[in-house]
Structure 1
Amino acid sequence: MGALKKTDRIVVPVIIILSVIIPLVVLVLMNMPARYDIFGLDMGTYPFFHAMLNGATAFLLLVGYILIRKGEKKLHRNVMITAFFLSCIFLGSYVISKLSNAPVPYAGEGFLKPIYLFVLITHIVLSIVIVPLVLFTMYRGLTKEYVKHRRIARWTFPIWLYVSVTGVLVYLFMLPYY
């Protein structure tokens, strides 16, 4: 394996640090003893907004996939940057929502409960995994390291799509309880 590029010496540690800090911050926020209602929004506002962001991100990921398969590299890049931007807005809003509102427990019973728990647990685990994958994929694409970009994007795309779609599913499962 070759030596790290000059930018890699800076960007790779930043990606690793962000990949550790982001899930830890969310974990701390989920377990805070007090909440600080920043914007005074209704409890259901954040989850609905998050579901819309996740749904739009999933749509853009599919569009981006189709575009790259058609060889539309510039359009692919722009769509994927937009998907990344929506995911960043989601993350910022999610942090604010956890500062503002305590987590709402799922109150469903019967056959839906294990389905919900499976979707939720896989969503949470893969949302942690997707942070470094997206950051590395974006970095390799934007630095025109297309071989490395394609190699990691093969993993990033299905996981990012799954996290986006299951984000919407979690919202739909929780809708009666907000």
Structure 2
Amino acid sequence: MSNKEVMNDKKYNKLIVILSIAIPVAVAALFGIKIPAKLPVFLPPIYACVNAITALILVLAFIAVQNKKIKLHERLIKVAIGLSVLFLLMYIVYHITSDSTKFGGEGSIKYLYYFILITHIILSVAVIPFVLITYVRAITNNIEKHKKIAKITFPLWLYVAVTGVVVYIMISPYY
């Protein structure tokens, strides 16, 4: 590895660490902020659709790379990252303007809901550095390391996207 590559890695690693900490901390902090403007409940189904589209794009990106369509894979991943950022922005806007909706189900469905919700939340935080590291390894042409971490990133990211939709569907009757 050349000196320039080492410097690039250090620069990207700092950015990855900063974003991996700053994003979850900012989201958590924003839950303590309430802006009096109340948004209608149209936003949650929109960001649930964004999650569904993200999941679809991730699957298409996986298929593209399996078929050696690298440029298509690259474009699809950029779209998936963009959709994830869009989701995050809408999620934040909704939750700083609206009270959280409580799940009203009972019995075993309640436990299933909370299991899915808790794993979704934990993995949505955990996947941030994985996505960033995987992306950086691709753009810096470190393809072998990219492939290695992508095997972890893809199922985590897909799980987060799919469970985001499932959580919405399960809680939607209580909005």
Q: Could you tell me which residue of structure 2 aligns to residue 9 of structure 1?
A: 10
Which residue is equivalent to 1:169? 166
Counterpart mapping for 1:1-178 below 5 A: 5-32=6-33, 34-37=34-37, 41-42=39-40, 44-178=41-175
Q: TM-score normalized by structure 2?
A: 0.93
Q: Share of identical aligned residues, percent?
A: 38
For the residues of structure 2 that align with 1:113 and 1:13, how far apart are their CA atoms?
Answer: 40
If the length of structure 1 is used for normalisation, what is the TM-score?
0.92
Question: C-alpha displacement at 1:80, in angstroms?
Answer: 0.8
CA contact 2:104–2:174 (8 Å) conserved in 1: yes
Q: For 1:160 and 1:36, how far apart are their aligned partners in 2?
A: 33
Provide the secondary structure at the position in 2 that maps to 1:79.
Answer: helix
RMSD: 1.6
Aligned to 1:5, the other structure's residue is in SS state helix
Kindly indicate whether the alpha-carbon contact (under 8 Å) linking 1:137 and 1:153 is maintained by their aligned counterparts in 2.
yes
**Aligned residue identity for 1:132:** P
Q: Supply the distance in 2 between the matched residues of 1:177 and 1:35 (Cα, whole angstroms).
A: 22
- In structure 1, the gaps of 5 or more residues are none
The alpha carbon displacement at 1:2 in A equals 8.6
Q: Which runs of 5+ in 2 are unaligned?
A: none
Aligned length: 174
Instruction: Return the alpha-carbon distance in structure 1 between the equivalents of residues 136 and 45 of structure 2.
Output: 30
Q: Which amino acid aligns with 1:158?
A: P
C-alpha displacement at 1:35, in angstroms? Answer: 2.9
Tell me if the contact between 1:51 and 1:167 (Cα under 8 Å) persists in the aligned partners. Answer: yes
